[in-house]
């Protein structure tokens, strides 16, 4: 959506003005500690207070491997040391060989919130060592340009779109619990396709045991403690093209697209783990189909802007063995 894109653009400009100098100074200090994880973590923790609105601070080498602990306002967590971040959206895009860049908006795996990552290059005598990464929740970054705020409000009034504003349903009220239930059913109980109908408060499930017939459930039924007993326990299907751990991320991205904007939002979303296809039905632009990798790695604003949706692909129907 143009309004959302404009607000994010203003937020990025404001964020850059706040953190550019502190991150540059931190990179100079970090350069001397790059091979000393404990001391590097301490330096990051010391400088976190200089980065307003920062949710998470950490260091990454040039191969995408984390070389410091996670640093937050609550302290440090070393269990994330050495994790591979090379496939995260901010690391797959254009990386800075010097200076700082801000990523596109993506879904944080840690907080499941729309997020922007600032990457500051760390160099030693013109040799790139890696990056300081700072994560920021989009909702925490203010829009300080009053002209932009006025224009957004004015365009909303002129657009006449208030009639299609999102109305909360039972699914919206219980989405976090439902993400757990649906993910568990697909990971451990032989469900290969799930579809969430947000506007109707319903979900459909298709199982390997009975692939030709789907079953429809309301929120009350899905939240019943005996829901998981309806489907037999099963190992995750070896033919699935979607890794089991990515399933909650996909449903969480549905949640974000549902809540990100009250005028442009997702009406329904489905996942098929065999062919890896996602389908989404948007309030402003109808149905679209794409591979789950593209869905997870795209800027979240991509799915809210009609001009960006022309390259989505038709779904490929696959019957499970």
Find out whether 206 and 161 touch, Cβ atoms under 8 Å.
no
pLDDT at site 157: 52
Q: What are phi and psi of 65, to 5 degrees?
A: -95, 130
pLDDT above 70 covers a percentage of the chain that reads: 83
Among 97, 125, 140, where does a domain finish?
Answer: 140
Q: What are phi and psi of 222, to 5 degrees?
A: -65, -30
Q: What is the Cα–Cα distance from 117 to 105, expressed in whole angstroms?
A: 8
Indicate whether 155 belongs to any domain.
no
- 202: its two tokens: 């319903």
Indicate whether 70 belongs to any domain.
yes
Q: What is the Cα–Cα distance from 57 to 70, expressed in whole angstroms?
A: 6
- Looking at the fold, whether 136 and 33 belong to one and the same domain comes out as yes
Confidence of residue 132 (pLDDT cuts 50, 70, 90): very high
pLDDT 10s digits, 217-228 = 999 999 988 898
Q: What is the DSSP letter of 66?
A: B
Indicate whether 158 belongs to any domain.
no
Indicate whether 313 belongs to any domain.
no
CA 223 from centre of chain? 25
pLDDT at site 218: 93
pLDDT 10s digits, 237-256 = 999 999 998 898 899 889 88
Q: What are phi and psi of 59, to 5 degrees?
A: -120, 145
**Mean pLDDT to the nearest integer, 39-54:** 93
Total residue length of the chain: 321
pTM of the model: 0.60
- Looking at the fold, whether 87 and 134 belong to one and the same domain comes out as yes
**Mean pLDDT to the nearest integer, 192-213:** 93
- Looking at the fold, whether 212 and 292 belong to one and the same domain comes out as yes
Among 140, 159, 191, where does a domain finish?
Answer: 140
- 40: its two tokens: 């590097």
**Mean pLDDT to the nearest integer, 77-101:** 86
Indicate whether 163 belongs to any domain.
no
- Looking at the fold, whether 25 and 122 belong to one and the same domain comes out as yes
């Amino acid at each position: 959506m143009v309004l959302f894109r404009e607000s994010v653009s203003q937020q990025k400009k404001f964020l850059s003005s706040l953190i550019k100098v502190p991150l540059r100074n931190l990179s100079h200090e970090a350069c001397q500690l790059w091979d000393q994880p404990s001391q590097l973590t301490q330096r990051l923790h010391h400088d976190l207070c200089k980065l307003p609105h920062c949710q998470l601070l950490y260091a990454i080498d040039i191969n995408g491997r984390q070389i410091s602990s996670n640093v937050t306002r609550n302290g440090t967590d070393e269990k994330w040391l050495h994790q591979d971040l090379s496939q995260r959206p901010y690391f797959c895009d254009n990386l800075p060989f010097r200076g700082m860049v801000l990523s596109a908006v993506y879904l944080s795996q840690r907080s499941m919130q729309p997020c922007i990552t600032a990457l500051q290059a760390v160099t030693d005598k013109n040799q790139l060592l890696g990056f300081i990464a700072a994560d920021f929740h989009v909702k925490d970054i203010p829009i300080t340009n009053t002209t932009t705020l006025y224009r957004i409000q004015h365009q909303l009034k002129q657009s006449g779109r208030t009639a299609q504003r999102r109305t909360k349903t039972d699914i919206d009220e219980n989405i976090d619990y439902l993400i757990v239930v649906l993910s568990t059913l697909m990971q451990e109980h032989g469900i290969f396709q799930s579809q969430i109908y947000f506007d109707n408060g319903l979900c459909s499930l298709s199982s390997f045991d009975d692939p030709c017939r789907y079953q429809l459930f309301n929120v009350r039924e899905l939240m019943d403690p005996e829901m998981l007993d309806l489907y037999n326990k099963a190992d995750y299907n070896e033919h699935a093209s979607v890794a089991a751990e990515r399933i909650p991320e996909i449903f969480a991205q549905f949640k974000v697209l549902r809540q990100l904007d009250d005028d442009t939002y997702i009406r329904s979303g489905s996942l098929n783990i065999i062919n890896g296809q996602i389908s989404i039905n948007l309030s402003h632009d109808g149905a679209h189909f794409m591979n789950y990798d593209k869905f997870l790695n795209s800027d979240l604003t991509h799915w809210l802007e009609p001009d960006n949706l022309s390259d989505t692909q038709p779904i490929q129907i696959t019957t499970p063995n």
